[in-house]
Chains A and B, each alone.
Chain A
C-alpha cells in the first residue's frame, strides 16, 4: 500500500470533502460548547474511514502510518479536536490490529469494527501514577472466563461517546505495577462516572474529563501479550507520529489563513511586497521542517514493517529517542508557528469572529507540550542518551 494508490486517493478525497463540508463549519461551535464533534465522526463512519488501519484480511484497507498521518493532518486543518479524536481512535485500532491477531475473538472484532465503524477510546491515565502510562495501580481480575476491571482515570478522551475503550491495567492483582495488559471494554458492559470537568483552553471537543470506570467482560477481551510491547511497538509510535501530523495540520491552517491575509494585502497594492510577506516566508520554513519530520518518521516506521527485524527495531533505544524528539519538536513548533501567523494577521486573527481568527488554533496547539509532558519525555531522553552512542 502506498499513498498513491487509487483506493487511498478516494479515501483522502472523501476525508477532504467531509473536512470542508462538516468539520470546518462546526469547528467553532465544537470549540465554544466544548462538545464532541458528533457530526464529523458520523461522516467519518459513513465514509468507512474509522477502519483505515484494519488489515485487508479483516475487510479494512490496511493503511500504514503515512496514510493515517495524511488523514489525521487533513482533518485537523478543519478542526483540531476532530483530528485528535481520529488519531486517538486510530491508535487504539492499531493496537488491536497489530497485537491481538492471534486471538480469534479480536479477529472477529476487527471485522465487526469494519462493518459497524466502532469508535474506540482509551484509558491509560490513572489517579496515583502521576502521568506515567507504563505503570498501573488497577488490575484485571479473572474468574471463570470473565473479568472485572475498575479504574480511576484522570482523563478519558471521548470515552462517553465511544463504542469501546482500551484500558491499561496490571495483568493480575499480584503483578508489579509495570506488568501491564490492555483490555477492551465494550459499550453496555461498563459504567462511567465522571469525576472531573473538561473546561479547557483548547482541544475542547475531545471531551476528556476524569472518569471512574467499572467494567466486566469475557476474558478473551484481554489483549494477548504484554502492554510493554504494544506500547513500544504501536501506542508510542502511532501517538507521536499521528499527533505530530495533526498538530502540523492545525499550524498549517493557521499559516494558510495568514497567507490569505498577505495575498489580500498584496492585491490592494500590486508591485509592492507587503512587509507581512517576509514574516510569511519565515514561518513557512518552520512549517515545512515540522511537516518533513513526521513525514520522514512515518515512512521509516512503514519501512520497519517490511524488514524481518522490524518489530525488534521498534524496541530499540535509538527509535525511542527519535519518537521523543519528534514529540518535543512538533509540540514546541506548533504553537510557535500559530504565534507567528498571528503576528501576520494582527488584530483580525486575534478576533474570534473573523475569517482570519486564530484563537482556536493557538489554544488547541498549546495542549501539545502538555499531553504527555515534554519535561517527562525530555528526562527519559536524557537518561537514554547516557547509553546511546548514535553510532
Chain B
C-alpha cells in the first residue's frame, strides 16, 4: 500500500482528525504502531466510528480488537476485507 492510495489517504486523515496521535499521521509508516504513537483506546473508538462512516461499513465484533487497529496497514486490510476487495 502506498501513500497515493486513496483509501490510505482517507485513513490517514481520519487518524489525524480522531486518533489523537502525538505525531503527524502523514509521517507514520504503514506498519507503525498507532498505540505507541499515542492513540488511546478511547481515541481508537472514534477512529472506528469515523472509518465506519467514511467507508460505509460496519466492523463486526470479532474485528473490534487492538491488532486490527494498530497500524495503517492493518486498518486498510480490515476495511478492504469488509468492502469485499
Q: Which residues of A contact B (CB under 8 A)?
A: 134-135, 175-179, 226, 228-229, 232, 312-313, 315-318, 320, 380, 383-384, 386-391
Contact assessment for B49 and A315 in the assembled complex, using a CB-CB cutoff below 8 Å: no
Contact assessment for A389 and B67 in the assembled complex, using a CB-CB cutoff below 8 Å: no
Q: A387-B48, A388-B61, A389-B60 are in contact. Are A312 and B67 (CB under 8 A)?
A: yes
Contacts of A390 in B (CB 8 A): 61
Task: Say if the beta carbon of B45 comes within 8 Å of chain A.
Answer: yes
Contacts of B64 in A (CB 8 A): 316-318, 387-388
- Give the top 4 A-B pairs by smallest Cβ distance, nearest first: A176-B38, A317-B64, A176-B22, A315-B66
Q: Quick one: which of B35, B58, B65 has the most chain A CB within 10 A?
A: B65
Q: A176-B38, A178-B39 are in contact. Are A316 and B62 (CB under 8 A)?
A: yes
Q: What's the interface size class on B, roughly?
A: 20 to 34
Cα(A311)–Cα(B36), bound, Å: 19
Interchain nearest-CB distance for B20 vs A (Å):
9
Other-chain contact of A179, B36, B60, B61 (Cβ < 8 Å): B36
Cα(A284)–Cα(B37), bound, Å: 49
Task: Say if the beta carbon of B40 comes within 8 Å of chain A.
Answer: yes
Q: Quick one: which of A313, A316, A390 has the most chain B CB within 10 A?
A: A316
Contact assessment for A386 and B49 in the assembled complex, using a CB-CB cutoff below 8 Å: yes
B38: nearest residue on chain A (CB-CB)? A176
Q: A226-B35, A312-B65, A386-B49 are in contact. Are A134 and B58 (CB under 8 A)?
A: no
Cα(A391)–Cα(B58), bound, Å: 11
Q: Which residues of chain B from 25 to 75 have a CB within 8 Å of any chain A CB?
A: 35-42, 45, 48-49, 52, 58-62, 64-67
8 A-B residue pairs with CB within 8 Å: A176-B38, A179-B38, A316-B65, A317-B45, A384-B45, A387-B59, A388-B64, A391-B60
Interchain nearest-CB distance for A22 vs B (Å):
41
Using A178-B38, A383-B42 as known contacts, list a sample of 7 further A-B pairs with CB atoms less than 8 Å apart, ordered by residue number in A. A134-B40, A176-B36, A313-B65, A317-B61, A317-B65, A387-B59, A390-B61
A135: nearest residue on chain B (CB-CB)? B40
Interchain nearest-CB distance for B53 vs A (Å):
11
Contact assessment for B65 and A383 in the assembled complex, using a CB-CB cutoff below 8 Å: no
Contact assessment for A134 and B37 in the assembled complex, using a CB-CB cutoff below 8 Å: no
Interchain nearest-CB distance for A136 vs B (Å):
12
Contacts of B65 in A (CB 8 A): 312-313, 315-317
Interchain nearest-CB distance for A130 vs B (Å):
13
Interchain nearest-CB distance for A263 vs B (Å):
48
Cα(A388)–Cα(B59), bound, Å: 8
Interchain nearest-CB distance for B66 vs A (Å):
4
Interchain nearest-CB distance for A204 vs B (Å):
33
Interchain nearest-CB distance for B52 vs A (Å):
7
Contacts of B62 in A (CB 8 A): 316
Interchain nearest-CB distance for B82 vs A (Å):
13
Interchain nearest-CB distance for A3 vs B (Å):
29
Cα(A184)–Cα(B77), bound, Å: 37
Contacts of A226 in B (CB 8 A): 35-36
A380: nearest residue on chain B (CB-CB)? B42
B58: nearest residue on chain A (CB-CB)? A389
A314: nearest residue on chain B (CB-CB)? B65
A319: nearest residue on chain B (CB-CB)? B65
Interchain nearest-CB distance for B25 vs A (Å):
14
Contacts of B61 in A (CB 8 A): 316-318, 388-391
Other-chain contact of B41, A134, A175, A176 (Cβ < 8 Å): A134
